[in-house]
Structure 1
Amino acid sequence: MNTTSFVPEPPSRATLLADVPKAAKELMSLSHYKWRRQLQRVPEGDGHPIVTVPGFGGADGSMASLRRFLKRAGYDAHPWELGRNLVTQRVTTMDEILEFCAMREGELARRVEQIADRTGEKVSLIGWSMGGVYCNSLAQTHPELVRQVVTLGAPVGDPRGTSTWNILKKMNRSEVPEELQNVDGWLHRKNSQGERKVRTTILYSPNDGAVSRSAAVIENDDLVENIEVDSSHVGFSHNPLVYWVIADRLSQDPYAWQHFDLSMQPRKIQEHFNLL
């Protein structure tokens, strides 16, 4: 695989700096009575199990609000219960990043398998940022366990399209650290897991301060749907519009799947999408 022909740009510095203030507004919107009332109208859940997977540096508390929403909507929502999603040692090579991801994916697979065995049902996975990378990979390696995947601002594509890439370079005190240049190997190992068998919904945002569209989407795959929403990166886990789309996707019958149809959504939802 040759990645030299196109190197994605990470989000701009202005978008990165605006991320946290935007997230604060999203949190306030979630608690506003108009959105609370709107979110009471999401499609009723069928009770199937869901696991939420936090982003890099996050723990289960970062997605607690989303799980409460999903339980109220009628789903059996679970935390991942694997502690903080954080590598403790200094990362200097792509192989170290891959090793950390593989370790976390293995732990997540065991957690999902336990829930699937206990409930007798496949599990839907919702992964935020790096958590979405694990979910995407797990669906490829263990499709027998996974009903569907929803990723929230997850860098499932080229890591050079993320703000983290520049942070890694600075951490390693080099403009172009040779140890972090094996992107071809990274992408090949991520994309060599065979034909996709699990429905995947990718939520990405033009206002994401950490992950650009080029790093977040998967193109030309019939089982993948890329949906653009207005969200900060930090705010994906408590953005009311994101909640609505998640509930809509989780309500889909795996055997009669329908793509997200904005024209079938309430006017308030359509208005928010039309602002993009």
Structure 2
Amino acid sequence: MASRASSSLNFPFPLEREELARRLELAREANPDSAAKPHLKYLLAELSTVFWPVRKFYSRYVRAYAVPKAAKPRTVMVLPGFCTSPSRMRYFAELLEGAGHAVKRWGLGFNWGPTEQNLAALEARLLDLFHRAGEPVVLVGWSLGGLFARELAKRQPQAVAKVITMGTPFSYSPRANNAWRIYQFVAGHRVEQPPVGGVMAEKPPVETVALWSANDGVVHPRAACGKPGERDRAIALRCGHMGFAHSHESIEAVARELDRD
């Protein structure tokens, strides 16, 4: 998976005392939204991801797993979830590459939340991939990465073939999740007031597919599934939120979408 790292973009630490206090206040603020959140049992189930390195080793070396060869190889850019980096999706990318796709990193290192600076860098990255590939790029965004993908497709639709989101909270309520307090502390703004973009639920002017799961312990299924008109199609999976980045079920679903015209 090709890299053009610039991990210092939007790195939020260290913080001055006043800024730290402001962000702590954001994290502690009362929740004015009555939107439902994923049940605690699903959140606790996400802890099983600590065993992911063992499962990856098993899939790679003990019982080899591969995605079927692509009918139509694509150029794909993967966008990681909040507080994760492209390395967290390396296994995901390797399997798609094994199927014949050209998988590219987003070039920003860790995902600390949206800013005008990092969105502009992503636009430049997308346009560069588009011109070098000679074809529109498929954007695959996990969680918050999917919000970046949707916004990029709104800004540069000619460069995007399709958007695939995985557990991305683009609908319902921005607080319908178990991570909004952490998000507000790290990103430094209220979750419903991002410094870039417009209406999150507005569908990009390209084919947009939402992968969601009733077992998601971080993002409420209604937020990741969306309504008709907010995406073209929604596909239900059984994995947890962290599983979108490595489960074979999720990778196979993305591979099928890449083969679909």
Q: Which category of TM-score, normalised to the shorter sequence, fits these structures?
A: 0.7 to 0.9
2:211 paired residue number: 203
Q: Give the TM-score normalised by the residue count of structure 2.
A: 0.75
1:83 paired residue number: 109
| Structure 2: gaps (5+ residues) | 1-32
1:139 paired residue number: 153
* Per-residue Cα deviation, 1:200-219 (whole angstroms, up to 9, x for no partner): 11111111111011211221
The structural deviation recorded for 1:166 is: 4.4
Instruction: Calculate the aligned-residue CA RMSD, in Å.
Output: 3.1
Q: 2:69–2:100: 8 Å Cα contact kept in structure 1?
A: no
Which one has the bigger helix percentage? 1
Q: Give the TM-score normalised by the residue count of structure 1.
A: 0.71
1:219 paired residue number: 227
Paired residues for 1:88-103 under 5 Å? 100-103=114-117
Between the aligned partners of 1:133 and 1:222, the Cα distance in structure 2 is: 12
Between the aligned partners of 1:236 and 1:84, the Cα distance in structure 2 is: 17
Match of 2:90 among 42, 59, 64: 64
The structural deviation recorded for 1:106 is: 2.1
| Structure 1: gaps (5+ residues) | 1-5, 88-99, 173-178, 254-276
Paired residues for 1:101-116 under 5 Å? 101-116=115-130
1:251 aligns with 2:259: yes
Spell out structure 1 runs of 4+ moving beyond 6 A: none
Taking only the aligned residue pairs, the percentage that are identical comes to: 25
Match of 1:231 among 209, 227, 239: 239
Between the aligned partners of 1:209 and 1:133, the Cα distance in structure 2 is: 18
The residue type paired with residue 235 of structure 1 is G
The structural deviation recorded for 1:240 is: 0.3
The structural deviation recorded for 1:101 is: 4.3
CA change 1:83–1:32 in 2 (3 A) is closer
Match of 2:45 among 9, 14, 18: 18
Between the aligned partners of 2:56 and 2:201, the Cα distance in structure 1 is: 40
Between the aligned partners of 2:69 and 2:211, the Cα distance in structure 1 is: 19
Aligned partner of residue 147 in structure 1, secondary structure: strand
1:159 aligns with 2:174: yes
CA change 1:247–1:192 in 2 (3 A) is closer
CA change 1:248–1:135 in 2 (3 A) is same
Between the aligned partners of 1:205 and 1:132, the Cα distance in structure 2 is: 15
Between the aligned partners of 2:126 and 2:64, the Cα distance in structure 1 is: 30
Aligned partner of residue 170 in structure 2, secondary structure: coil
